[in-house]
Amino acid sequence: MVAAAVVALALITASVLYLTRDGSQADDKADDKPSTSPAAPSDEPGTEPSSEPSGDSSTDFPDLDEDDEPSEEPDEGASDVPLPTFLLQVGDCYDRSEEREGAVERRDCDGPHDAEVVSREKITGDYSTDSGVRLEADSLCRSSLRNKAAKQPSGTVGGTLITYPKAENVGTSFSYVTCSLTAGKNKKLQKPLV
């Protein structure tokens, strides 16, 4: 691997040296001065700005009329956008998305919501199956969910929800297990957990 990198670096250096020669064979000595040979006109795009317009209007901006209004304001319900669970943080409240399986929609914890994130854990290791990831995710969440549930008023918590990546995504930016408490099947939490 190192040898390949050295060879690649040598080829790049040789290419740069070859391409930066001014092309004349008469004066091969280096005098530490930059070449000032004029460049021939070309249809190729260059790195120097042109003083003449190119006739390409792709960068022209439209004229604004006085009647032009900005687009409508963003929706107040930006939390309705389905998100992947690995973007949630501890303390986030959410509903499971009805639009996209495995996605969630953030909710205000002071209103009805399906679940609240209690902990978020990075999962590492090599897993050949999703069920192997699930077992590790359950293990990572077990103590934090038990401890948080024990602090809640009686009847508040009725279940857990653990989300985890697929086996092929462990080791990527998706490698987070999200551990959440719920009110139970077909029930909603009504306020933040204590």
Say whether pLDDT at 148 is over 90.
Answer: yes
Position 192 scores a pLDDT of 96
């990546």: which residue's tokens? 165
């901006």: which residue's tokens? 61
Position 174 scores a pLDDT of 86
Closest by alpha carbon to 133, among 178, 161, 168, 167?
167
Position 102 scores a pLDDT of 84
The structure's pTM equals: 0.59
User: H helices then E strands: how many in the chain?
Assistant: 2, 6
Closest by alpha carbon to 112, among 91, 99, 88, 95?
95
How far, CA to CA in Å, does 14 sit from each of 23, 28, 147? 15, 16, 63
Q: Which helix (H) or strand (E) holds 185?
A: none
Residue 133: how many other CB atoms lie within 10 Å: 22
Percent of the chain predicted with pLDDT > 70: 59
In the chain, where the domains are located: 78-182
φ and ψ of 189, to 5 deg: -75, 145
21 band by pLDDT with thresholds 50, 70 and 90? very low
- Are the C-beta atoms of 113 and 181 separated by less than 8 Å? no
Position 65 scores a pLDDT of 54
d(CA 58, CA 91): 47
Amino acid (one-letter) located at 138: D
Position 6 scores a pLDDT of 34
